[in-house]
Structure 1
């Protein structure tokens, strides 16, 4: 792969990283416009197959699609460069925001309260779209309701992992997908041997990191473990990482709820993947180096899963039972996100009737008037300041 091609990948992905607002679905639209229609790096069918693969994997789907396109264009190095271009603009912006917030008293600030109300609107909007697509029938609605009950009534990290696994088992037997459409075979410059190594490393780190955390009692190892686990267990997109990170860092007292939700609100105002929220949390905890460490930790599973599954995707996508398992997991994800909408987001942001009215207005702007998320964030900040003066 020539240096010129790698520079081109970096140039295009960075432009997308600076302009791709609106969440994972919007990112895929931007990718389609740039990579398929303008650059013609992939054909329509190959792109659709790659998106299907990344939707099946845990982690940030849009980032994984970007990595996959980079791999197809420039090998493993191309995948890494594509990721850096798409991700680093928002990482840098959130690290700077976190450094500014550290010097302020955010607990009672009106603009912070406004960002918390923005979080109510944004997550509710995300749930609306996800529920429509991922829980269309009564069986999957039931799994979502079960997930809500388990997560809210059994407040442990294992509750979220357990309900996702249980939903996967139920889906494996209940939602058999036997009607396979004709799809084109994908070809990637990654060998099956490399794929096996990456998958082994993915599961190995899930096992080894908690052990190292206990043995070393190191703050940095503990942080890396928490972010790596969050990046490994998120099905359904960036918003679902919220409850996992909240239980890892807020309930343990490592970061205040006000700072956490302020960062989540600010993440809506920057382009790029939602997972860059980790850069903000890491910076709040351990400065800019902590922000970079958190970014590496939360995105590492995405790399390992993409590199590990690409060589085997053609066989995996033909397995109807595996597709059913993913359907069950995605239904549970909807329930987990609804539980996060209630606690901590709604319970901490909506304390007066006027807060609820403001949240409804912001939600309507996103869902019905199609206002850009960054505009909604600005209006939320301004509205929060005004509400604090009433």
Structure 2
């Protein structure tokens, strides 16, 4: 098998060839022991002129094909979340079209999905709490109409407008009191988006968790669950145990997901994860082990994916989408390594090389020869060859 010269972090080059396990076949049916969604990336149109002020340009065929692929791996799709570059290149008009198109695909193939409800249609500049609530309501109605369960995303506009916990209770209370069907809430930590620092009215993570837990207790009747993305397994477990009956915890911890999903004697987390996008075949196969009661098998399958996840989501964590898109390109799911806004340049070449090494060890490269062939011109453009 052909190999590559891969850069290392100390500035050296090493000869490398893939030697990892083959990617597993998907499970024969969607796993049932856990609810699991992969937060899906979008595929940019690489030939779009990208004029300032123009709408985001997507390769719709490749974007929707990737969602069909995730469903075929036994996973649900979490649409229009931060993995899809919400707030980092994906504008609201394109998001609205993405929701419509994914809804049609889900109806055609029976795929399960949830979708992000944000406030990114608000004009630039300060917004009041009432304006935030109105923006959430507009998007929530569109998500419900498209056929998805809404995920109420943390709002940068609310983070900027709120003066303390009372403003968060006021905003979420106004929205949730009008809901007629279950929704999910999303707590996205500042690692993923620095503009969300101090969300829920607290900069200390455990104080924020207690505030959110109290909010959930007030509105448990309309909450299906809460997605927690703070990259702190202990905080998530404490928060999970504080939730009222019927309100599930969905892990967004791309570092500690195996143990959080496996759970303990007090319960477990469901999954809504960006890392499930690049490791979808392994994730689906591992979740099927839980259907068989094979907890050890589940953990054994996911263990090699954790070093990959930690590399992809390393600080600054908000640029994790680069590794996700790289592996989609190397895996043959899209024909180019380009992102909205040119964000593929946000990570170093040694980082991309390490992502390739760890993806091979994790068994998530569907065609190692293709991965090598596609990685070589990226390295050549960086001066390696």
* TM bucket, shorter chain: under 0.3
> Greater strand percent: which structure?
2
Greater relative contact order (Cα < 8 A, sep 6+)? 1
| TM value normalised by structure 1 | 0.24
| TM value normalised by structure 2 | 0.24
> Greater helix percent: which structure?
1
